[in-house]
Chains A and B, each alone.
Chain A
Amino acid sequence: DTEVTQTPKHLVMGMTNKKSLKCEQHMGHRAMYWYKQKAKKPPELMFVYSYEKLSINESVPSRFSPECPNSSLLNLHLHALQPEDSALYLCASSRSITGGYNEQFFGPGTRLTVL
Chain B
Amino acid sequence: AQSVTQLGSHVSVSEGALVLLRCNYSSSVPPYLFWYVQYPNQGLQLLLKYTSAATLVKGINGFEAEFKKSETSFHLTKPSAHMSDAAEYFCAVSLDPYPSGGSYIPTFGRGTSLIVHP
B88 in contact with A97 (CB, 8 Å): no
Q: Name the residue of chain B whose CB is nearest to the CB of A45.
A: B105
Chain A residues lying within 8 Å of B36, measured Cβ to Cβ, are: 106
Known: A42-B109, A42-B111, A101-B49. A48 touches B103 (CB 8 A): yes
Chain A residues lying within 8 Å of B106, measured Cβ to Cβ, are: 100, 104
Whether A56 sits at the interface, judged by CB under 8 Å, is yes
Chain A residues lying within 8 Å of B104, measured Cβ to Cβ, are: 97-100, 102
Known: A41-B110, A55-B103. A101 touches B44 (CB 8 A): no
Kindly state the separation between the CA atoms of A99 and B51 in the bound complex, as whole angstroms. 11
Q: Mark B95-118, 1 if CB is under 8 A from A, else 0.
A: 100101011111011110100000
With an 8 Å Cβ cutoff, the count of chain B residues facing the other chain is 28
A42 in contact with B49 (CB, 8 Å): no
In the complex, which residues 40-63 of chain A have their Cβ closer than 8 Å to any Cβ of chain B? Answer: 40-43, 45, 48, 50, 55-56
Q: Name the residue of chain A whose CB is nearest to the CB of B93.
A: A100
Q: How large is the interface on A (under 10, 10 to 19, 20 to 34, 35 or more residues)?
A: 20 to 34
Q: Name the residue of chain A whose CB is nearest to the CB of B34.
A: A103
B113 in contact with A40 (CB, 8 Å): yes
Chain B residues lying within 8 Å of A108, measured Cβ to Cβ, are: 41-43
Whether A66 sits at the interface, judged by CB under 8 Å, is no
Q: Mark B7-46, 1 if CB is under 8 A from A, else 0.
A: 0000000000000000000000001101010000111111
B88 in contact with A56 (CB, 8 Å): no
B108 in contact with A42 (CB, 8 Å): yes
A56 in contact with B42 (CB, 8 Å): no
B94 in contact with A100 (CB, 8 Å): yes
Known: A42-B108, A103-B34, A103-B49. A97 touches B43 (CB 8 A): no
Kindly list the 10 A-B residue pairs having the minimum CB-CB distance in the complex, ordered from nearest: A106-B43, A100-B104, A100-B94, A42-B108, A100-B32, A97-B103, A101-B51, A106-B44, A108-B43, A103-B46
